Chains A and B, each alone.
Chain A
Amino acid sequence: MPETVSPTRMNLLQRKQQARIAGQGVDLLKRKRDALVADFFNIVRQSLAARERLTKAAGEAYILLALAKAWEGRESLEAAAMADRREVLVDIEVRNVWGTKIPEVAMKEVRRTLMGRGHNPATTSARTVESAANFEEVVAAILEVAATEIRLRKIGEEIKKTTRRVNALEQVVIPRLRGEIRFITAVLEQRAREDVFRLKRIKQKLEARARESS
Chain B
Amino acid sequence: MRSRLLDPGRMEELLVLPTLEGFVQALNNTPYGHDLQEALARFPALQAVDVALARNFYHTTTKILSFADGTPRALIEVVLIRWDLSNLRLILRGKHGGTAQEDIAANLIPAGSLNEAALRELASQPDIPAVVGAFSGLEHPFAVPLSEGLRGYLETKDLFALELRLERFYAEHGLRVARGGGHSQQVVRSLLQAELDATNVKTAFKVQRAADLSPEAKARFFIPGGRIVSEDLFLLLADRETAEQGMKGLRVQGFPVKSVSDDLTAFERDLDLAMTRAQTGLYLGDPLGIDIVVAYLALKYNEVKNLRLIARSKQLGISRDRVRREMVVV
Report Cα–Cα, A125/B309, bound state, in Å.
17
Give the 9 A-B CB pairs with smallest separation, nearest first.
Answer: A70-B309, A126-B264, A66-B312, A70-B308, A79-B90, A121-B206, A82-B93, A78-B107, A75-B107
* A71-B309, A74-B50, A82-B99 known; A122-B90 Cβ under 8 A: no
Report Cα–Cα, A9/B249, bound state, in Å.
105
B265 touches A126 (CB 8 A): yes
* A113-B210, A122-B199, A126-B265 known; A70-B90 Cβ under 8 A: no
- Tell me, yes or no, whether A162 is within 8 Å of chain B by CB: no
- Tell me, yes or no, whether A84 is within 8 Å of chain B by CB: yes
Residue in B closest to A125 when the chains form the complex, CB atoms: B268
Q: Looking at B96, B108, B206, B207, which has the most chain A CB atoms within 10 Å of its CB?
A: B206
**Secondary structure of the B contact surface, majority rule:** helix
Q: Which residues of A contact B265 (CB under 8 A)?
A: 126-127, 130
0/1 per residue, A52-86, Cβ < 8 Å to B?
00000000001100110111011110111011110
- Tell me, yes or no, whether A42 is within 8 Å of chain B by CB: no
- Tell me, yes or no, whether A115 is within 8 Å of chain B by CB: yes
Report Cα–Cα, A67/B94, bound state, in Å.
23
B164 touches A122 (CB 8 A): yes
- Tell me, yes or no, whether B16 is within 8 Å of chain A by CB: no
B318 touches A121 (CB 8 A): no
Q: Which residues of B contact A79 (CB under 8 A)?
A: 86, 89-90, 93-94, 107
B206 touches A82 (CB 8 A): no
A66 touches B206 (CB 8 A): no
- Tell me, yes or no, whether A146 is within 8 Å of chain B by CB: no
- Tell me, yes or no, whether A129 is within 8 Å of chain B by CB: yes
Q: Please, how many residues of chain B have a CB less than 8 angstroms from a CB on the other chain?
A: 51
A63 touches B316 (CB 8 A): yes
B212 touches A78 (CB 8 A): no
User: Distance in Å from the Cβ of B180 to the closest Cβ of chain A?
Assistant: 28
- Tell me, yes or no, whether B291 is within 8 Å of chain A by CB: no
User: Distance in Å from the Cβ of B258 to the closest Cβ of chain A?
Assistant: 18
B94 touches A66 (CB 8 A): no
Q: Which residues of B contact A78 (CB under 8 A)?
A: 90, 103, 107
Residue in A closest to B205 when the chains form the complex, CB atoms: A126
Task: List 26 A–B pairs whose Cβ atoms lie within 8 Å, in order of A's numbering.
Answer: A62-B316, A69-B312, A70-B308, A70-B312, A70-B326, A71-B308, A71-B309, A75-B87, A76-B86, A78-B103, A79-B86, A79-B90, A79-B107, A80-B93, A82-B94, A83-B97, A113-B210, A114-B206, A114-B209, A120-B159, A121-B221, A122-B163, A122-B199, A122-B221, A126-B265, A127-B268
- Tell me, yes or no, whether A175 is within 8 Å of chain B by CB: no
Q: Which residues of B contact A66 (CB under 8 A)?
A: 312-313, 315-316, 318
A75 touches B109 (CB 8 A): yes
Residues of B within 8 A of A (CB): 50, 54, 86-87, 89-90, 93-94, 96-99, 103-104, 107-109, 159-160, 163-164, 167, 199, 202-203, 205-207, 209-210, 212-213, 221, 223, 264-265, 267-269, 272, 305, 308-309, 311-313, 315-316, 318, 322, 326
Q: Looking at A69, A113, A122, which has the most chain B CB atoms within 10 Å of its CB?
A: A122
User: Distance in Å from the Cβ of A143 to the closest Cβ of chain B?
Assistant: 22
Q: Looking at A62, A67, A125, which has the most chain B CB atoms within 10 Å of its CB?
A: A67
A126 touches B267 (CB 8 A): yes
- Tell me, yes or no, whether A123 is within 8 Å of chain B by CB: yes
0/1 per residue, A79-123, Cβ < 8 Å to B?
110111100000000000000000000000000011100101111
Q: Which residues of A contact B221 (CB under 8 A)?
A: 120-122
Report Cα–Cα, A113/B212, bound state, in Å.
9
B167 touches A123 (CB 8 A): yes
Q: Which residues of B contact A80 (CB under 8 A)?
A: 93
Q: Looking at B199, B221, B312, which has the most chain A CB atoms within 10 Å of its CB?
A: B312
User: Distance in Å from the Cβ of B110 to the closest Cβ of chain A?
Assistant: 11
B312 touches A67 (CB 8 A): yes
Q: Which residues of B contact A73 (CB under 8 A)?
A: 54, 86, 109, 308
Report Cα–Cα, A113/B211, bound state, in Å.
9
User: Distance in Å from the Cβ of A132 to the closest Cβ of chain B?
Assistant: 12
Q: Which residues of B contact A76 (CB under 8 A)?
A: 86, 90
Partner of A125, one of B87, B98, B202: B202
Report Cα–Cα, A127/B269, bound state, in Å.
9
Report Cα–Cα, A119/B254, bound state, in Å.
30
Residue in B closest to A75 when the chains form the complex, CB atoms: B107
A126 touches B268 (CB 8 A): yes
Q: Which residues of B contact A63 (CB under 8 A)?
A: 316, 318, 322
